[in-house]
Structure 1
Amino acid sequence: MRLPSPRARRPRAGALAPNDLTRTLPAMSSISSRPHKRPPASPWLSLVIRLLGVSFVLFFGAAIVTILLGIDHRAAGDPIGLLVLRLVRWGGVHGGGEHYELMISTVYVVWGAFLWKAADAPFEHALFLDFTVVANVAHFGLMFVQGLTMPGEHLHLVGDVALGGLALALFAATWLPARGNTRKRHTAGVDR
């Protein structure tokens, strides 16, 4: 029986030789594990992000519970309950859109939980926070237009549109300048 030759075999075309791979992997991991020099978030920024997350969880969590327990139908019989429903429910107080309301509410509850986590290190989650601003500007912008133009939906302009718009304005007014200042400092540091 003949033993294989100790000389290394030539890799087939397109394959990495084992020695190449062992040199490549540590180099890749050392690049990705370098700490990023991002500034810590101000306590105010983290607080505002958490407040937005909590507001999402509370508002939309309450919507989920209200629909699942049928509280919305019972509330429609009371004048105060009817007013509250009109401020937040689109298309009539007696429902018909509960499936949609449950779906969007679930998305926003999860979104709120992720905002809470992102508040620990906002600059590490800049894309998510930028998405939060842009997606909600689009969402509340459309709701504003619909509140102006749809018959019977004008009350939303002082209800969920105003509430969401204020929460979004506070978040954007805190996040966007902080992010802009971080980019300026990062660019100045790179140019040196």
Structure 2
Amino acid sequence: MDADRRLRIVLVVVGIGFVAAVYPLIHLWPAGFRWQAEQPEYEQMIAAIYAVLGVFLLRASRDPLGHLSLIRFTMWSSLVHAAVMAVHAVADPGERAHLAGDVPALAIVAVVLAVFTPRRLR
């Protein structure tokens, strides 16, 4: 399988995950994906942003090299988001479950995108 096809598959998997998994995970595993105090409005906003990002990643899967800035934005924003959440999870003992929930989930997204995205155009 060539590198372009692998990146396309990664974009589809991440895109579907962002569209379909973010909001349900908040409710299925609150300790790992819901920050306290519970704020349904905030959760809906975050889920909506990730759903839109997921749709655009699905669209980018058709022509990954034409959407490198979106892919890199997703990679870097996921890494920064994970880092900020990790700091808060370490600082607040009541939020430590996030170190096994949304923190590694976003870090994995960042690493996988970094591994499968070309550094430069051919």
DSSP 3-state at the match of 1:153? helix
Alignment of 1:50 onto 2:30:
no
The TM-score, its normalising length taken from structure 2, stands at: 0.87
Instruction: Tell me the equivalent position of 2:64.
Output: 122
Instruction: Tell me the equivalent position of 1:157.
Output: 99
Please report how far the alpha carbon of residue 160 of structure 1 lies from its aligned counterpart in structure 2 after TM superposition.
1.4
Please report how far the alpha carbon of residue 170 of structure 1 lies from its aligned counterpart in structure 2 after TM superposition.
1.2
- Any unmatched runs of 5+ in structure 2? none
Alignment of 1:88 onto 2:50:
no
Q: Is the 8 A contact 2:23 2:44 kept in 1?
A: no
Please report how far the alpha carbon of residue 168 of structure 1 lies from its aligned counterpart in structure 2 after TM superposition.
2.3
AA of the residue aligned to 2:60 = A
2:116 to 167, 174, 178: 174
The TM-score, its normalising length taken from structure 1, stands at: 0.58
Instruction: Tell me the equivalent position of 1:19.
Output: none
Please report how far the alpha carbon of residue 164 of structure 1 lies from its aligned counterpart in structure 2 after TM superposition.
2.1
Alignment of 1:141 onto 2:83:
yes
Q: Is the 8 A contact 2:23 2:47 kept in 1?
A: yes
Please report how far the alpha carbon of residue 142 of structure 1 lies from its aligned counterpart in structure 2 after TM superposition.
0.5
* Residues in 2 aligned to 1:167 and 1:126: alpha-carbon distance in whole angstroms: 15
- Please give the per-residue CA displacement for 1:82-106, whole angstroms capped at 9, x wherever unaligned: xx211111115xx2x1101100110
Pairwise CA RMSD: 2.0
Deviating 4+ runs (over 4 angstroms): none
- Any unmatched runs of 5+ in structure 1? 1-39, 67-71, 73-80, 186-192
DSSP 3-state at the match of 2:93? coil
AA of the residue aligned to 1:156 = H
AA of the residue aligned to 2:4 = S
* Bigger radius of gyration: 1
AA of the residue aligned to 2:42 = Y
Identity %, equivalent residues: 29
* Residues in 1 aligned to 2:35 and 2:112: alpha-carbon distance in whole angstroms: 25
> What is the count of residue pairs matched by the alignment?
121
* Residues in 1 aligned to 2:70 and 2:106: alpha-carbon distance in whole angstroms: 18
